[in-house]
Amino acid sequence: MTSFDLSGRRALVTGANTGIGQGIAEALAAAGAHVVCAGRSSMDETLERIRAAGGSAEPLKMDLSDPRAAAGLLEGKARRGEGLDILVNNAGIIRRADAVDFPESDWDAVIDVNLKAVFLLSQAFGRAALERGRGGRIVNIASVLSFQGGIRVASYTASKHGVLGLTRLLACEWAAHGINVNAIAPGYIATANTTALREDEARYRAILERIPAGRWGEPSDLGGAAVFLASDAARYVHGAVLPVDGGWLAR
């Protein structure tokens, strides 16, 4: 067994049906974890891919637009003895509009899924881990927009700044209890959330030219970072944010 081996551990990944969440779920399963793939959409494709590779996974219907209900599902699993060792807060949505025209409804929707749900799920996970006394790992998906402003994505930028701050706060409170809370900051990844950018030829080209690696990222590029932060290899890593951005932030 290596320090990156996740055999015998149970992980929950939100938004695991596609994109970054799917890539992370596959990587955790390949490292030996049993992965609970959570979200409101069908997880069939992710489950098939994990099982075809010899991994173990199950679906969990979870609507993160209702963060309290989502957290209640985690609490219910803990009460039934189905506790988790790893929580990956990946699910996120984005809304685009100029700040002067940004609808309040879009602000609320993004903050609920991207930030409030992250806190309430982490809170439920933390309570169970503290009661169990065995520690655990939380990996939050932040963004390069946790460090930058971006344009036309006011609520997304605010939420991702919040995720980074929350990661550090929870790390400070829980590190002494063996609960590692860290984050990954993806750069520009080819997912549904970036479809509008990739379909805008000028914007796509401008972004690509700024990425030192010379390409947009793929969901699978996030897998190794997630396995590291979820594993014993990162047992003394608390409150860190690991950019996986092709060098975007270094530019």
Concatenated DSSP letters of 197-213? HHHSHHHHHHHHHH-TT
Nearest Cα to Cα of residue 145 among 114, 119, 112: 114
Structure tokens, 141: 């998906």
Q: How far is CA 40 from CA 61, 98, 138, in A?
A: 5, 28, 21
Q: How far apart are alpha carbons 4 and 229 in whole angstroms?
A: 9
Structure tokens at 205: 């080209």
Is position 188 annotated as part of the catalytic site?
no
**CA 83/CA 17 separation, integer angstroms:** 21
- Pull the structure tokens for residue 150: 């971006």
Question: How does DSSP classify residue 40?
Answer: S
Which amino acid does the sequence have at 2? T
Q: Which residues are catalytic?
A: 156
